[in-house]
Structure 1
Amino acid sequence: MKRLFLLFFLLCSMTVSTTFAQEKKAFTLEDVIPGGNNYFNLVPKNIPGLKWWGDVCVRTDVDDIRQIDNRTGEETILVTLKEVNEALQNGEKPYKLLAPIKPLHTLQGASLPWENRNLLMFSDYVGDEEKSESYVFFYDFIQKKLTNMFRIQEANATNLDFCKENGYLAYTAGDHLYIANHGDFSTAVSPHPTDVKEIDNDIVYGQAVHRNEFGIYKGTFWSPKGSYLAFYRMDQSMVTDYPQVNTSTRIATLEPDKYPMAGMTSHKVTVGVYEVKTGKVIYLQAGDPTDRYFTNVSWSPDEQHIYVIELNRDQNHAQLVSYQAATGEKEGILYEEKHPKYVEPQHPLVFLPWDETQFIYQSQRDGFNHLYLMDTKAKGEGVWKNGKLEGSTYLEHLKVTPLTQGDWLVQDILGFNAGKKEIIIGSTEVSPLQTNLFCLNVKTGKRTLLGEKDGMHRASLSASGTYLIDNFSSFTVGREITLLPTNGKKGTVLLKADDPMRSQFNLPEITIGTLKAADGKTDLYYRLVKPVNFNPNKKYPAIIYVYGGPHAQLIHNSRFYDARGWDLYMAQKGYVMLTVDSRGSDNRGLAFENCTFRHLGVEEMKDQVKGVEFLKSLSYVDGNRIGVHGWSFGGFMTTNLMLSYPDIFKVGVAGGPVIDWKFYEVMYGERYMDTPQTNPEGYKGSDLKQKAGNLKGRLEIIIGGTDPTCVPQHTYTFLRACIEAGTHPDLFIYPEDGHNMMGRDRVHLHEHITRYFEDHLK
């Protein structure tokens, strides 16, 4: 379940005189909501298009591409947009195009795939709605000419996956998979040899599977030397069609979506391997794919083996399985892990660049996601052992050495410094509210902090692992971009940016702190936003903004502590805004998250009520005017809180809510709830239709008319339950929108939410 995070910045403390505060302007939703006409003018400045060309930092900008000196920050132009357009329009081409190529407007999307070649790669399309073609171009900016072109004749090509080792491009068009190299025509990798007839949307090749759970975000996987392409094949023919309806046509059009609901038949996935040299396709001999998940596909450095982390339908037993790449034959199980609640593999294997016999595996077996070094040449003990969490067990068929340990988690592996045998990671070791960068020595286990200790760091690593592009922000720093060496020394600052909102607008006071969870022992982080021009002698209404579910965290040490533009806007209108990251949310370890297992909404709501108690302890909060708002899982929480605690919450706005977990998808729903057949009590307790008669306050539900994530059936069945129970929620629909509103619809959405609270809570 995806959520859109909006990051904003504010000074730690604001002690301004009343006169000075009045001199600053009030802001509008157009200023603080993405899609607003002034939003992008008010975020801290950035340097778009920073990326690596080997170990050289380059900036792909609108009019040119510049090389940046890692030590001085000085910029040198490599190529200009004018030069590229001259070659596109007037230079020699390997074949005649369908139509003249229009000039490019920017070079920001270009890349430099080869560190030792002066080649620029970019894509474009020509033609019109009737007939169009996509092209991938390679431009030599020393010789100033095109060196190669791919013509992609299939309509609506997507999922482009370029392999720099062999120069081939994999892509999908419709439900099929293709590869292209030099010249006019592509080669179809699909269909499967046994498929006599395939119906669109039934068999899908080369796309992400299992509804993008388990860290899956793509469907093609080039081997290290480019000899093979592994790919997903997903058979959805047995999956129920969910009848989404497009109402923008003259007569509404049925546009069904394959949607496997919890406890129902799911799709079947197999992994194919295409050999580039021969064009031969084989499939991994994994046995019957029914009710199994094939996650985190990876290759051995010598291209002889493919590794898949396979998970059973119950999601409580993961196996790392090795297959022979040339034949698809199953070679054996290398590692196994069980947990009575769930095991959730999120990351593929990563081999050490200086030792092709060892790889890193990521696991939560000891309660937090950590790195484990596995040796393919050394056998493990081969016996089941207990992890640190109750019920957690694992079996090591290979020798395993823990690389990181502790009550914090590794969030990402950015890459390696092979020369020093070090791994560059992002982790929560400093604080669960932050992402910090560390250099980890594989031999000693020593970790060296890279960059500032404060805040959130997003970074990319150079080819050799000696430099990072570190994009850093915190509550007190708008943005700072640094070319940072990975030896722990200071780097070259490319940008220091203040926050435009600080100087222009009268902003609210924002603080963070901790309160005890309903279990009486766990610390929960909260964020409190006071009204603009706060008067401690007044009584203010309060709104809780909630999410509360897995894989989401609403509070970080970032701009405004992650308070959204709407939170600030409501503070300007005189509301106290509170957010609590309850148990069940992200970055606090497995036990913190899985305490909600089989009963989603119960423990999370108890923690949110602790937030209400905190609000009521504040002399300036009107305890009779408390509202709640959230989206997606937060929409489920909003509705649930309104129905379970009707005497606490006066007004709620629930966006895209889950109402009945039986209507949610197999992969996510069954991980946290099991199936309706095995957990009927839990599903009944989390079915908000059963509580429809409890509604006392004003509740509005807002949905996208063709939401593919929380399908409209959730809301429609809840409305029917309310009708039968004699209660009266309100409804607003964004026709043809999905799970989130974007662009101008997003501004309208927040105008609408604001009006609802102003009408019923103010």
Structure 2
Amino acid sequence: MKKFLLTISLVAIFQNVTAQEITLDKIYSGYYRGKGIAGITSMKNGENYLVIEQGGIAKYSYKTSQKEGNLVDGSFESYEFSSDESKILLLKESQTIYRHSFLGKFDIKDLKSGKMISLNEGKFVQEPRFSPDATKISFIVDNNLFFQDLNSGKITQITEHGVKNKVLNGLADWVYEEEFGHARLYEWTKNSADILFVKLVETDVPEIFIPVYGKSLYPSEMRYKYPKAGEKNSIATAHIYHLADGKKTKVNLDQFKNYYIPNVIQTSNADEIVLITSQRTQNASDVLKVNTKTGEAKKLFTETDEKWIDTDNVTLEFLEDNSFLWASERDGFRHLYWFDKDGKLKKQVTKGNWEVTDYYGYNPKSKEIFMQTTEKGSINKVVSKINIENGKSQMISNGDGNNSANFSKNYNYFIETSSTASKPYTFVLKDGNGKQLKELQNNDDQLKKLQADNFAVKEFITIPNEAGDQMNAWIIKPKNFDPNKKYPLFMFQYSGPGSQQVANSWDNGNALWFEMLAQKGYIIACVDGRGTGFKGAKFKKVTYKNLGKYEIEDQIAAAKWFGTQKYIDKTRIGIFGWSFGGYMASLAMTKGADVFKTGIAVAPVTNWRYYDSVYTERFLLTPQENPAGYDDNSPTTYANLLKGKFLLIHGTADDNVHFQNSMEFSEALIQNKKQFEFMAYPDKNHGIYGGQTRPQLYQKMTDFILENL
């Protein structure tokens, strides 16, 4: 008998070893890692492009697609040309600060002489930028602006009052960087004579502190300014530095909306800069033209919206005659509009029940704009061109999936990056009309490995909500799916304003983990409900002043719909989300406690009063103006409703969604005598990664699902 049992055990072990399946070990070992092309940049001649390779920055011909050697030898993280391509800025080493900001050590190579010099004597800097005439580079050190003369090497200090957690010059503070999407807040004029910079005084902004445990005897602290909803923000002012005499001019913005100054943009005129400013409520933005000789600001136009303007997603492009293109949702969908140099609307360039999702450039010879759109459905993105004068358009990419483009400077060529939910990224060289010239890189090997391990392709469907909308959704079924069998359902979502998780594109994020769970007998689904993007402003902005209300109603409605399908066990429905998705998972386990049996919330906002001012007030106004919008949709308010198995996860050093959120929610659950599991990741930020952190995290979540769903 013992011998027989041993034989069975050995067979089981052998079968387990040889089974073709997706595992966490394979996922995190890099076994399924795909290939890409790094640092694609067209050269000015439009006939060559550059990429970052192991030996340096390689130069290729668009016409032949053949390598013509290295422009620069060595190892670099990124690079940037001067406008005349006489010099190149090379990032050698970097240290991350927040989402966009980092400290870097840079070299500058003169491509004519071959001479290499270090920026700022090889010390760390932030946000370096060539002057348009390529004779200087500006940069930031310790919140102050400087520039270095590239001929003499002389370094000139522009500002003197920059102090950490007090004053920033030309640099975004935490909330500007996170919510307006960039760290640099300065720009050179086209003639290289002046620099316009934004000064942020954050002295009165409340400070957040985060314990850093590390391995020292006593924990240290990370302190930085973080304006929460309704609290004081940095005071923003605009200033011009004149290189000729070293003097500064303050720009008078008193007559304009000047609470925020999110954007500083160079125009085609020699002595002009455009500022985009906003009032605190973010439903009106002024587009201002500043004469850098005199400091005078003139309003081109004001963009308004009944609800909000996406101040973090600005498209403003100046053409050769200083007329400009502007993206707006004013007709209900995000489209391009053409204004003359004085801000008078010439025409709406694109129109339809679809959106412009990216702008690539304008070819003055052909009068064509190149862009990415959702013309082929909201879950697809395609590359198109349209004549700015006669409106004739042409799609030049694949018609389905997610397609993006990197164009040559003359627009005769582009490198198309494409994927679908069933096909990983491919990189194809095409001409300006979309004709394929050569496939540069594919990921067939990655796909073969996954197919050998029984990769299941997502199915796309739509699901109705109670408002009569059809919500985009995808579903992953086990490979051996039996329609007559009932399966547990595990739902994933993010649900944040303007976001999209249901897209016909390859997913290198959680997708492989979902595939692994499907192989263990779960059906995985994702639904983009009201508030998500690419289906028009009405669908996206219905959540205004009630963030979380309609989003959770739609997730509950979707779960109930799935529960009516004969292949779903409605008593075994779980939900998972991270950040805004964690907020939704927390609401699902409280407001939707009768529907969801199991939930995992990672780094969730649990009370919008604890989140930052720019993001939160964009959708909710301030807590003083709209207290119900904050409290009526906080999972903490409904802690008493928790019924199912709940896992709460947070990094203690999360600078974005503070650990405080999970602490408050935990206390509310405790005081309501609710049992739940909690996992804190020491010194980990919003991404919760580093070393073996991610494998451990996903193993923990896997075990929790297997035990409780």
Q: TM-score, with normalisation over the residues of structure 2?
A: 0.89
CA, structure 1 residues 633+125, in 2 after alignment: closer, same or farther (shift >3 Å)? closer
Deviations along 1:725-756, one digit per CA (max 9) or x if unpaired, are 22122211111111112243222221111121
Which of the numbers 226, 229, 233 marks the counterpart of 2:199? 233
TM-superposed CA distance for 1:154, in Å, is: 7.8
Task: Answer yes or no: is the 8 Å Cα contact 2:256–2:286 preserved in 1.
Answer: no
Partner residue, 1:187: 156
Partner residue, 1:37: 29
Give the distance between the partners of 2:118 and 2:244, measured in 1 at CA: 19
Q: Is 1:46 aligned to residue 36 of structure 2?
A: yes
Partner residue, 1:260: 227
Give the distance between the partners of 1:426 and 1:133, measured in 2 at CA: 32
Deviations along 1:262-299, one digit per CA (max 9) or x if unpaired, are 11111111222223333333232113999711123223
TM-superposed CA distance for 1:152, in Å, is: 1.7
Deviations along 1:639-693, one digit per CA (max 9) or x if unpaired, are 0010001111111110111111111111110111111111122222012222111
TM-superposed CA distance for 1:79, in Å, is: 4.8
Partner residue, 1:706: 653
TM-superposed CA distance for 1:113, in Å, is: 4.3
Task: Answer yes or no: is the 8 Å Cα contact 2:42–2:408 preserved in 1.
Answer: yes
Task: Answer yes or no: is the 8 Å Cα contact 1:361–1:372 preserved in 2.
Answer: yes
Deviations along 1:689-718, one digit per CA (max 9) or x if unpaired, are 221111111111111101111111111111
Q: Is 1:600 aligned to residue 590 of structure 2?
A: no
Task: Answer yes or no: is the 8 Å Cα contact 1:133–1:152 preserved in 2.
Answer: no
Amino acid at match of 2:615: Y
Give the distance between the partners of 2:626 and 2:81, measured in 1 at CA: 52
Q: How does 1:233-252 map to 2 (within 5 A)?
A: 233-248=199-214, 249-252=216-219
Q: Secondary structure at the match of 1:718?
A: helix
Deviations along 1:496-535, one digit per CA (max 9) or x if unpaired, are 4312433431122421111112202x22111101124333
Deviations along 1:210-236, one digit per CA (max 9) or x if unpaired, are 243245453232323333222222111
Q: How does 1:671-710 map to 2 (within 5 A)?
A: 671-710=618-657
Partner residue, 1:109: 78
Task: Answer yes or no: is the 8 Å Cα contact 1:296–1:349 preserved in 2.
Answer: no
Q: Secondary structure at the match of 1:719?
A: helix
Amino acid at match of 1:708: D
Amino acid at match of 2:69: I
Partner residue, 1:457: 403
Task: Answer yes or no: is the 8 Å Cα contact 2:108–2:119 preserved in 1.
Answer: no
Partner residue, 2:4: none
Task: Answer yes or no: is the 8 Å Cα contact 1:166–1:227 preserved in 2.
Answer: no
Q: Secondary structure at the match of 2:29?
A: coil
Partner residue, 2:383: 437
Q: Secondary structure at the match of 1:717?
A: helix
CA, structure 1 residues 114+689, in 2 after alignment: closer, same or farther (shift >3 Å)? closer
Give the distance between the partners of 2:43 and 2:408, measured in 1 at CA: 8
Deviations along 1:160-182, one digit per CA (max 9) or x if unpaired, are 32345333222222322222232
Q: Is 1:26 aligned to residue 5 of structure 2?
A: no
Give the distance between the partners of 1:123 and 1:488, measured in 2 at CA: 33
Q: Is 1:136 aligned to residue 103 of structure 2?
A: no
CA, structure 1 residues 107+172, in 2 after alignment: closer, same or farther (shift >3 Å)? closer
Task: Answer yes or no: is the 8 Å Cα contact 1:53–1:113 preserved in 2.
Answer: no
Which of the numbers 495, 498, 505 marks the counterpart of 2:453? 505
Q: Is 1:319 aligned to residue 257 of structure 2?
A: no
CA, structure 1 residues 722+479, in 2 after alignment: closer, same or farther (shift >3 Å)? closer
Partner residue, 1:415: 361
Deviations along 1:328-359, one digit per CA (max 9) or x if unpaired, are 2223x221233332223432531112x23x11
Partner residue, 1:124: 92
Q: Secondary structure at the match of 2:666?
A: helix
Q: How does 1:151-300 map to 2 (within 5 A)?
A: 151-153=119-121, 155-163=123-131, 165-182=133-150, 183-191=152-160, 199-209=163-173, 210-248=176-214, 249-287=216-254, 292-300=259-267
CA, structure 1 residues 610+22, in 2 after alignment: closer, same or farther (shift >3 Å)? farther
Amino acid at match of 2:337: Y
Partner residue, 2:100: none
CA, structure 1 residues 272+485, in 2 after alignment: closer, same or farther (shift >3 Å)? farther
Higher relative contact order (CA 8 A, sep 6+): 1
Amino acid at match of 2:145: L
Task: Answer yes or no: is the 8 Å Cα contact 2:373–2:381 preserved in 1.
Answer: yes
Q: Is 1:747 aligned to residue 703 of structure 2?
A: no
Task: Answer yes or no: is the 8 Å Cα contact 1:170–1:178 preserved in 2.
Answer: yes
TM-superposed CA distance for 1:449, in Å, is: 0.9
Partner residue, 1:89: none
Partner residue, 2:11: none
Give the distance between the partners of 1:560 and 1:242, measured in 2 at CA: 34
Partner residue, 1:14: none
Partner residue, 1:150: 118
TM-superposed CA distance for 1:116, in Å, is: 6.0
Q: Is 1:471 aligned to residue 461 of structure 2?
A: no
Q: How does 1:5-16 map to 2 (within 5 A)?
A: none
CA, structure 1 residues 374+608, in 2 after alignment: closer, same or farther (shift >3 Å)? same
Which of the numbers 480, 487, 505 marks the counterpart of 2:433? 487
Q: Is 1:365 aligned to residue 311 of structure 2?
A: no
Deviations along 1:386-419, one digit per CA (max 9) or x if unpaired, are xxxxxxxxxxx62431111111111121112121
Deviations along 1:73-131, one digit per CA (max 9) or x if unpaired, are 222224573xxxxxxxxxxxxxxxxxxxxxx4x356345546665x55424369xxxxx
Runs of 4+ in 1 over 6 A off after TM superposition: 21-24, 288-291
Partner residue, 1:328: 295
Amino acid at match of 1:538: K
Give the distance between the partners of 1:317 and 1:133, measured in 2 at CA: 36
Task: Answer yes or no: is the 8 Å Cα contact 1:554–1:562 preserved in 2.
Answer: no
Report the number of matched residues. Answer: 677
Give the distance between the partners of 2:345 and 2:257, measured in 1 at CA: 31
Give the distance between the partners of 2:118 and 2:241, measured in 1 at CA: 20
Amino acid at match of 2:159: S
Task: Answer yes or no: is the 8 Å Cα contact 2:91–2:104 preserved in 1.
Answer: no
Give the distance between the partners of 1:317 and 1:579, measured in 2 at CA: 34
Q: Secondary structure at the match of 2:38?
A: coil
Supply the RMSD in Å over aligned alpha carbons: 2.7
The worse-fitting range, judged by mean Cα deviation, of 405-414 and 65-74 is: 65-74
TM-superposed CA distance for 1:257, in Å, is: 2.0
Which of the numbers 580, 584, 587 marks the counterpart of 2:527? 580
Amino acid at match of 2:240: V
Task: Answer yes or no: is the 8 Å Cα contact 2:362–2:368 preserved in 1.
Answer: yes
The worse-fitting range, judged by mean Cα deviation, of 106-115 and 170-179 is: 106-115
Task: Answer yes or no: is the 8 Å Cα contact 1:123–1:137 preserved in 2.
Answer: no
Deviations along 1:245-268, one digit per CA (max 9) or x if unpaired, are 111242112222211111111111
Q: Is 1:515 aligned to residue 482 of structure 2?
A: no
Deviations along 1:10-54, one digit per CA (max 9) or x if unpaired, are xxxxxxxxxxx998621212333xxx222xx42343233432122
CA, structure 1 residues 689+451, in 2 after alignment: closer, same or farther (shift >3 Å)? closer
Which of the numbers 49, 60, 63 marks the counterpart of 2:52? 60
Q: Secondary structure at the match of 2:535?
A: coil
Give the distance between the partners of 1:486 and 1:662, measured in 2 at CA: 49
Give the distance between the partners of 1:433 and 1:133, measured in 2 at CA: 37
Give the distance between the partners of 2:80 and 2:275, measured in 1 at CA: 30
Amino acid at match of 1:368: F
Give the distance between the partners of 2:570 and 2:91, measured in 1 at CA: 57
Give the distance between the partners of 1:550 and 1:77, measured in 2 at CA: 45
Give the distance between the partners of 1:412 and 1:486, measured in 2 at CA: 17
